[in-house]
């Protein structure tokens, strides 16, 4: 194993440990445990609930995740980190508890994308097929479309999307 591969393997091991700690804490409703996986200024960008920084991350878990659902299951697959960027594919599911949610579990897959600093998560983002969960929970197609439009507008507002829409 060369130096580059050895360093990547070591970074991956640290990232895997941290991301598994984070999902384990989320599964058991341990907001402080999730928050402890982040740097002091760390930011958690959730696809449904938005961005939470530092100690506010605990509130994301207690006031949003566990307000709207229970019995979370969050499996991490194939975590990889190199150069301070970590990726991990995941399968996520939960039992919605809010009024109007359909019966049964909601499930979707995604990829966590993390910037790491000092072995902790500095920035957590995700790209997911969360529309599947909305459909499973019985959201009306028009409401799902409205949500997706908002997501698309956010993407189109980024600098990295500029060359993709320049001829519109």
List contacts with other proteins (CB under 8 A). 5, 8-9, 11-12, 73, 75, 77-78, 80-83, 85-87, 89, 91-93, 105, 107-111, 113, 127-132, 134-136, 140-142, 144-145, 148-149, 151-152, 155-156, 160-161, 163-165, 167-168
CB of 148 to other proteins, least distance (A): 4
Q: How far apart are CA 9 and CA 52, in angstroms?
A: 30
CB of 108 to other proteins, least distance (A): 8
Q: How far apart, in Å, are the Cα atoms of 94 and each of 91, 124, 161? A: 11, 20, 32
Residue 26 CB neighbours (<10 A)? 21
CB nearer to other proteins: pick between 59 and 125: 125
- The angle subtended at Cα 107 by Cα 105 and Cα 110, nearest 5°, is 160
Q: Is 99 helix (H, G, I), strand (E, B) or coil?
A: coil
CB of 120 to other proteins, least distance (A): 18
CB nearer to other proteins: pick between 55 and 71: 71
């Amino acid at each position: 194993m060369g130096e580059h591969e050895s360093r990547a393997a070591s970074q991956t091991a640290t990232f895997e440990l941290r991301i598994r700690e984070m999902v384990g804490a989320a599964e058991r409703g341990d907001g402080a445990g999730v928050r402890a996986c982040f740097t002091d200024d760390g930011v958690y960008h959730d696809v449904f609930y938005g961005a939470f920084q530092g100690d506010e991350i605990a509130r994301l878990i207690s006031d949003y995740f566990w307000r709207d659902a229970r019995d979370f299951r969050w499996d991490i697959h194939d975590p990889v980190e190199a150069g301070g960027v970590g990726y991990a594919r995941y399968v996520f599911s939960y039992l919605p508890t809010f009024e109007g949610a359909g019966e049964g579990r909601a499930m979707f897959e995604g990829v966590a994308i993390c910037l790491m600093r000092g072995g902790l998560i500095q920035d957590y983002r995700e790209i997911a097929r969360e529309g599947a969960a909305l459909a499973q929970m019985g959201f009306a197609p028009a409401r799902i479309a409205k949500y997706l439009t908002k997501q698309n507008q956010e993407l189109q507002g980024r600098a990295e999307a500029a060359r993709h829409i320049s001829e519109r």
